[in-house]
Structure 1
Amino acid sequence: MHARVPVVTTAALLGGTVLMFPGRHAELGSPGTVPVIVSHRGASGYAPENTLAAADKAAELGFDWVETDVQRTRDGELVVLHDDTLERTTDVERVHPGRAPWKVEDFTAAEVALLDAGSWFGPSYAGARVPALRQFVDRVSRNHQKLLLEIKNPELHPGIERQTLKLLSNEGWLDPAHVDGGLIIQSFSADSVRTVHDLHPGVKTALLGTPSFGDLAECARFADQINPAYASLSVGYIAAVRALRGPHGRPLEIFTWTVDDADDARRAAGYGVDGIITNTPDVIRRALPQRLPRG
């Protein structure tokens, strides 16, 4: 996630619907309760980010919620990757020399599958791959985990919202059990979040960043959460967010990111955030006043 401020604009409706049914969405928290801990790109402090190993490490540490990112390859496959280029977290410069700037959308899924996405983190993870989104949600399901899925750079991938929802449906992730408490789709793009809500109103959605006070009411029409960077948190802003109800009739929630420091975690919990997104979930769990209940 990057600290970009989204601009609320009118989304172009794509037409049609995808498996619409109303979601109930139990509230995750409120002021004075222990926030949900979300493993950022998996337990990425201990395993290479956005890999199956990172999801497994979060499960090994005992954490249900995993955050990850989705983008699309040149031939239209959905893959799990944060950056819009491949160079930071893979060996793309060695495997595919001469193809700078190594943008994700310039490579086919088969070409991405050849890359080593683990050696940069440590030799024990050599050979880890960039997962297809299908592979990642499969692993999260096997681990009995929940998914906070970020649509990255949607302006580069027109129609990715519909495609992502279709894949999630095919993999069984749009059933009531997941929609009512195991899946949240987020983006920095207000248009993208609105599109997800329009296509499948039952799905819980989140807008990343810190929209202005004046834009919050409009955001509440299509987003269940406002998820700001930790550095931008304030008591006044949280109060303004919580004063509004989202599209499912519940007070807007707040997941803050990326918090890896124990003191920051305690401060965020004191503010009353509903969730803390972190690379080191075990550190945050130890910092909070009570052990977080699973689920």
Structure 2
Amino acid sequence: MTHYVDYIADQKRAPAIVAHRGAWHGAPENSLAAIERAIAVGANVVELDVRKSADGQLFIMHDATLLRVAGINRDAETFTMAELQAIALREDDGGEHRATTDQRIPTLKQALEIIRGRIFADLDLKDRGLFSEVAACARELNAAPYVDLKTRVMTREELNWVRAQDIGGVAFMAMSKFTSGTIHDTLALLSEIKPFMCEMRFDRLETVIEHREAFRDAGMALWMNTLNMEASGEWVDKTALVDPDRIWGRLIDAGVSVFQTDEPEALKAYLEARRA
């Protein structure tokens, strides 16, 4: 398996599929089973959320509390790792109507053991202060070539913060918004750290289309979330399931080459049909 940065930089590759919190239709989100399922359905990247337990262990969990995924209304980070791993996760994306499973909350090390050499991982830190610690963990497990870390970069202060982190060997992805009035300033700022990819938002799709050459010259792939959330605007999975050309197709044509989705199987089927 090639290095994450080399894979993303390959101009001949198909658009990459990122399974949000793993492929959780059929496995608890952010579980080891969801990672295995992401691999099985053909996702290229799995997005995982990282937190730190009361006894200093890095673990995988999105929400601050365990209410949705396990029915426990208490902050996840107040538990020790042993306590967390005794808790059964609910099916799929949780909620009180979901049954419990045999899956437990994984440590970051357990997750990295699974992804190493099999799938890439986008590590979404709930506390960006964990950057250096997470990078060190990835290096320790020889998983650094397969993961990325990300945070917002829109100001000089945010750029300087990234520069101060010790993440050697781990790829960095910026999170930025591009608007017609600020895109040149934003690209100039990003050029100082040269992220291999950018998780982007934009004011209008035309802003992205009109600056495709600038993105290409920057050597920065474009990542788009089509998750069913307010920040995605009109670019959401629920619309893509009905009219994929309107969402995924238009974004691909605009130059987006990486998609984070809760519907990895549907996106894979669309990409295969588009190539046929």
Given the two structures, how large is their TM-score scaled by the length of structure 2? 0.75
Q: Matched residues in 2 for 1:107 and 1:192: separation?
A: 33
Q: Report if the CA contact (8 A) 1:33-1:272 is conserved.
A: no
Shift of 1:242: 5.4
Shift of 1:133: 0.5
Task: Specify the SS of the correspondent of 2:148.
Answer: strand
Matches within 5 A, 1:184-263: 184-188=148-152, 191=158, 195=162, 198-210=165-177, 212-213=182-183, 214-222=185-193, 223-229=195-201, 234-237=205-208, 239-240=210-211, 243-244=214-215, 251-259=219-227, 260=237, 261=240, 262-263=244-245
Q: Matched residues in 2 for 1:45 and 1:232: separation?
A: 31
Q: Report if the CA contact (8 A) 2:19-2:260 is conserved.
A: yes
Structure 1 residues 109 and 24: alpha-carbon distance in aligned structure 2, compared to 1, 3 A threshold: closer
Q: Specify the code of the residue in structure 1 equivalent to 2:44.
A: D
Identity %: 23
Q: Matched residues in 1 for 2:161 and 2:78: separation?
A: 27
Among candidates 98, 109, 113, match of residue 138 of structure 1: 113
Among candidates 127, 146, 154, match of residue 102 of structure 2: 127
- 1:6-51: CA deviations, max 9, x gaps? xxxxxxxxxxxxxxxxx97354455x97311111111123322111
Say which structure, 1 or 2, has more relative contact order (CA 8 Å, 6+ apart).
1
Q: Specify the code of the residue in structure 1 equivalent to 2:191.
A: A
Shift of 1:173: 1.3
Among candidates 277, 288, 294, match of residue 260 of structure 2: 277
Residue in 2 that maps onto 1:167: 137
Q: Which structure is higher in helix share?
A: 2
Task: Specify the SS of the correspondent of 1:79.
Answer: strand
Structure 1 residues 130 and 233: alpha-carbon distance in aligned structure 2, compared to 1, 3 A threshold: farther
- For the aligned residues, what is the CA RMSD? 3.2
Q: Matched residues in 2 for 1:196 and 1:64: separation?
A: 28
Q: Is residue 78 of structure 1 aligned with residue 48 of structure 2? A: no
Q: Matched residues in 1 for 2:86 and 2:263: separation?
A: 29
Instruction: Answer with 214-223 or 190-199: which moved more.
Output: 190-199
Please, which runs of 5 or more residues in structure 1 have no aligned partner? 1-22, 94-101
Count of residues in correspondence between the two structures: 245
Q: Is residue 266 of structure 1 aligned with residue 249 of structure 2? A: yes
Q: Matched residues in 2 for 1:224 and 1:63: separation?
A: 19
Residue in 2 that maps onto 1:16: none
Task: Specify the SS of the correspondent of 2:69.
Answer: coil
Structure 1 residues 81 and 187: alpha-carbon distance in aligned structure 2, compared to 1, 3 A threshold: farther
Q: Is residue 52 of structure 1 aligned with residue 32 of structure 2? A: yes
Residue in 2 that maps onto 1:6: none
Q: Report if the CA contact (8 A) 2:52-2:77 is conserved.
A: yes
Q: Which structure is higher in strand share?
A: 2
Shift of 1:56: 1.1
Q: Specify the code of the residue in structure 2 equivalent to 1:195.
A: V
Q: Report if the CA contact (8 A) 1:74-1:105 is conserved.
A: yes
Residue in 2 that maps onto 1:68: 48
Structure 1 residues 197 and 244: alpha-carbon distance in aligned structure 2, compared to 1, 3 A threshold: farther
Structure 1 residues 128 and 242: alpha-carbon distance in aligned structure 2, compared to 1, 3 A threshold: farther
